[in-house]
Amino acid sequence: MILHELISYDVLRVIWWVLLGVLLIGFALTDGFDLGVGALLPFVARTDTERRIAINTVGPVWEGNQVWLILGGGAIFAAWPTLYAVSFSGFYLAMFAVLAALILRPVGFKYRSKRDSETWRSSWDWALFVGGFVPALIFGVAVGNVLQGVPFHLTDDLLSVYEGGTAAKFFGLLNPFALLTGVASVSLLVMHGGAWLSLKATGPVAERGRVFGSIAALLALAAYLLAGLWLAYGIDGYHFVGTVPTDGPSNPLLHEVAKGGSWLTAYTDRPWIVIAPVMGVMGTILAFLGLRAGREVSTLLYSKMAIFGMIASVGLTMFPFILPSSTNPTSSLSVWTSSSSHLTLFIMLVVTVVFMPIILAYTAWVYRVLWGKVTPKDIADSSNSLY
């Protein structure tokens, strides 16, 4: 097949690096508020009706939103197979915790209101809290570890070996910097969940959503800025030794990588990327102000801008690295050394270009059909068909 050579290999790699970001950000923008509402559930809603209001604001949409994560997993597998292999086996126990929490979530949504017992319902409420809080925390912790480099090496056969025993695999991830990024991630998604509740819920639920959301916004901002300072002064970056062909074979071991210098030199090399952290900071501030003032639609948009900016800033800062290795820097995965083949990247791009607009169109239609607030009356009227 010659067709795929229409787009050169290095361009395809960059496109797929961008698409990886798009999928992760898509997940954070949509399922992010579902996770945030889950994490807020015990605090914003006290009576059963209030809880059902909070749950039903996300009830019809969380399932579609979660596909962003599943698609993200699939796309990493298809476009960045080495990343898929190294990260999920390396973060093995953390991944298990995420999966266990995310498995509880759908069941919690669907089954909670199917029995009247109070114990039954409050058990599922806690399951929903875990299903929101734990993934939000672990995703943030993962980002913190990626920025510091992860202890793994690749053998000559390209088998990935993570250093350290079972305990190190889990508790080793919970270092101070990673906990800080974990706090940033949780508070960012709680802010997003608060903004969503203020738009979709009514009465005390929306009111408490605004209060907790605005506190979370301040916390997210502080954690983000602190992490930025830490990156500037306390954490080494990674760089290639010599030049790397951008269209060479996907084998990390072919090129030497060294640890040292700062990640933030990216901002002198590519000054335009400063737009990402600026969006992150401005978005958080505007979302905070919006939550305080009780504005609804614009606040959610600012919250989205904040999430977009913060996640994008991580990727742009690390480019071209995706997953650096702290113990064997040459094993580090980068855009130029860990992608799929030219043909696979091309085919996946064609499929994405065809289907992504369709997905966005019908998702938008579904949101439009469901537009409007969830009220106590809705809960009373459709007690059987709602969650």
Partner 1 sequence: MFELGIVELSRLQFAMTAMYHFLFVPLTLGLSILVAIMETVYVMTNRPVWRQMTKFWGTLFGINFVLGVATGLTMEFQFGMNWSYYSHYVGDIFGAPLAIEGLMAFFLEATFVGLFFFGWDKLSKVQHLVVAWLVAIGSNFSALWILIANGWMQNPVGAAFNPMTMRMEMTSFFDVLFNPVAQAKFVHTVSAGYVTAAVFVLGVSAWYLLKGRHIELARRSITVAAAFGLASALSVVLLGDESGYTASENQKMKIAAIEAMWETEQAPAPFTLFGIPDQQARETHYAIKIPGVMGLIGTRSLTGVIPGINQLTQENQGRIRSGIIAYDALMKIREAKGQVDPSVTNTFNEHSSDLGFAFLLKKYVDDPRQATDAQIVQAANDTVPTVWPLFWAFRLMVALGFGFIATMAYFFYMASFRGMRFPRPALHLAVWMIPAPWIAAELGWFVAEFGRQPWTVDGILPTALSVSALSITDVALTLVGFVLLYTVLFIVEMGLMLKYIRKGPYMDVDETDRWDDIHRNRLTGGRGRASAIATPAE
For residues 168-207, which are near partner 1 according to CB under 8 A? 169
Q: Which stretch binds partner 1 (CB under 8 A): 89-97, 203-211, 269-277, 295-303?
A: 89-97
User: Considering the rule CB under 8 A, would residue 66 count as an interface residue with partner 1?
Assistant: yes
Residues 367-386 binding partner 1 (CB under 8 A) are 369-370, 382, 384-386
User: Considering the rule CB under 8 A, would residue 265 count as an interface residue with partner 1?
Assistant: no
Among 113, 148, 160, 198, the residue binding partner 1 under the rule CB under 8 A is 160
Among 363, 373, 375, 376, the residue binding partner 1 under the rule CB under 8 A is 363
State the minimum distance, in angstroms, from the CB of residue 164 to partner 1: 10
Whose Cβ is closer to partner 1: residue 180's or residue 199's? 199
Q: Which stretch binds partner 1 (CB under 8 A): 99-107, 177-185, 209-217, 294-302?
A: 99-107
Question: CA-CA distance, 106 to 69, in Å (whole number)?
Answer: 14
Question: CA-CA distance, 307 to 280, in Å (whole number)?
Answer: 6
Tokens (6 digits) for 61: 């949409």
Among 7, 14, 22, 71, the residue binding partner 1 under the rule CB under 8 A is 71
Strands of 241-311 (E only): list them: 257-262
Q: Residue 384 contacts by C-beta under 8 Å, 6 or more apart in sequence?
A: none
Among 89, 246, 327, 330, the residue binding partner 1 under the rule CB under 8 A is 89
User: Considering the rule CB under 8 A, would residue 21 count as an interface residue with partner 1?
Assistant: no
Using an 8 Å Cβ cutoff, are 68 and 356 in contact?
no
Q: Which stretch binds partner 1 (CB under 8 A): 199-207, 220-228, 274-282, 361-369?
A: 361-369
Give, in order, the Cα–Cα distances in Å from 64 to each of 27, 103, 190: 10, 15, 20
Give, in order, the Cα–Cα distances in Å from 262 to each of 241, 313, 343, 349: 15, 15, 35, 33
User: Considering the rule CB under 8 A, would residue 118 count as an interface residue with partner 1?
Assistant: no
User: Considering the rule CB under 8 A, would residue 249 count as an interface residue with partner 1?
Assistant: yes
From the CB of residue 287, how many other CB atoms can be counted at a distance below 10 Å? 32
Tokens (6 digits) for 246: 């951008």
SS3 at position 150: strand
Q: What is the DSSP letter of 258?
A: E
User: Considering the rule CB under 8 A, would residue 244 count as an interface residue with partner 1?
Assistant: no
Among 7, 11, 67, 211, the residue binding partner 1 under the rule CB under 8 A is 67
